[in-house]
Amino acid sequence: MRVTIFGASGLLGKALMPQWTGDEVAGLSSRDADIRDAQRLQQVVNETRPDWIVLAAAYTDVDGCESNQELAFAVNRDGALNVAKAAKAVGARLMFLSSDYVFDGRKTAPYEINDRRNPQGVYGRTKAEAEVELLELDPGFCIARTSWLFGTGGKCFPDTILKLAASRPALEVVNDQRGCPTYVEDLAQAIVRLCRKNASGIVHATNAGDCTWFEFAQEIVRAAGLKTPVRPVSSQQMARPAPRPAYSVLSASRLNSLGVEMPSWHDGLRRYIQARKLTRSAAAQLSRTIHPR
């Protein structure tokens, strides 16, 4: 199978590339192909002739989307449609990464794949509109909604918490937003399996279990062996430019029906902490090699 990954230099893309073994994989960053450039995209897809395209490239700064709406829609909606049209032109399947932010957060039970989209912020709107346009173009495309991504390949919530915990006497984290933390290594593995199963339509792909950001932060600090106190606060006390859904837990029923299961977020966090230590240790060793004392 030939696979082309757009967004290979991002948090998820960095996890996808090494996990996708046994197939012919081309990983492209925005420098290789800006998804806003339809002509360049078609050229790249014509060259790689993929069976599957994974679109992991996106403008993911949720607060930044509020003040840069034109850019957000150009990348997340129009760029996604460019990729979809290029895929359709060569008969390739498409895996599009979407978000829990397509929902309004007013439910109190996990969101199912057919629940009504009602995004409250610009980022969610860009993803929701992209979903609609992609499935209208080809119902055979696959949309994988996920949430609260973390991993060692870039900026993420656990990394921020650990850095703050090492420098502050205490942390304050919101306790009225509930969702599913998702380790990119586990998501990458699920995506590979879904593509090999020729999945289509909408799938929710997150680690099992849910928590609030406060509960997530508490577990991050504990798992890292730190003693920094973590205190709960409300979203009102920590106001941000973009609204966040109060409840965005995603049901894994469709994912499981396809024979794919993901481990708990606690298990993913444990492996993330271990991987982060190894990454930092390797970086320190490299620094000592380049700049010996």
pLDDT tens digits for range 173-210:
999 999 999 999 999 999 999 999 999 999 999 999 99
Predicted local confidence at residue 153, as pLDDT: 81
Predicted local confidence at residue 284, as pLDDT: 56
Nearest-10 Cα torsion for 208, 124, 12, 17: 110
- Asked about 123 being catalytic, the answer comes back as yes
- Please state, as a whole number, how many other Cβ atoms lie within 10 Å of the Cβ of residue 114: 8
How far apart are the C-alpha atoms of 235 and 105, rounded to whole Å? 13
In this predicted structure, the answer to whether residue 242 has a pLDDT above a threshold of 90 is: yes
The pTM of this model reads: 0.94
Predicted local confidence at residue 256, as pLDDT: 97
Half-sphere exposure of 258 (CA within 13 A, CB side): 24
Predicted local confidence at residue 41, as pLDDT: 94
- Please state, as a whole number, how many other Cβ atoms lie within 10 Å of the Cβ of residue 75: 23
Checking DSSP bridges between strand 93-99 and strand 171-174, what pairing results, if any? unpaired
Query: For 12-69, how does the pLDDT look when each residue is reduced to its tens digit (9 = 90+)?
Result: 999 999 989 999 999 999 999 999 999 999 999 999 999 999 999 999 999 999 999 9
Query: For 253-272, how does the pLDDT look when each residue is reduced to its tens digit (9 = 90+)?
Result: 999 999 999 999 999 999 99
Nearest-10 Cα torsion for 61, 63, 64, 70: 100
What is the residue-averaged pLDDT of the chain?
Answer: 94
How far apart are the C-alpha atoms of 14 and 133, rounded to whole Å? 27
Q: What DSSP string runs through 94-124? A: EEEEEEGGGS-S--SSPBPTTSPP---SHHH
Q: What DSSP string runs through 259-291? A: T----BHHHHHHHHHHHHHHHHHHHHHHHHHHS
Predicted local confidence at residue 74, as pLDDT: 98
In this predicted structure, the answer to whether residue 230 has a pLDDT above a threshold of 70 is: yes
Exactly one of 101, 111, 123, 272 is catalytic; name it.
Answer: 123
Cβ atoms 66, 56 nearer than 8 A? no
User: Tokens for 188?
Assistant: 């990458």
**% of the chain at pLDDT higher than 90:** 91
Predicted local confidence at residue 133, as pLDDT: 97
Cβ atoms 135, 126 nearer than 8 A? no
pLDDT-derived band at 281, boundaries 50, 70, 90:
low
Q: Go through the chain and tell me how many residues it has.
A: 293
Higher pLDDT, residue 50 or 279:
50
Predicted local confidence at residue 238, as pLDDT: 85
Amino acid at 177: Q
pLDDT-derived band at 77, boundaries 50, 70, 90:
very high
Cβ atoms 25, 5 nearer than 8 A? yes
How far apart are the C-alpha atoms of 143 and 97, rounded to whole Å? 6
Q: Which CATH architecture has domain 2-289?
A: 3-Layer(aba) Sandwich (3.40)
User: Tokens for 289?
Assistant: 């090699």
Predicted local confidence at residue 145, as pLDDT: 98
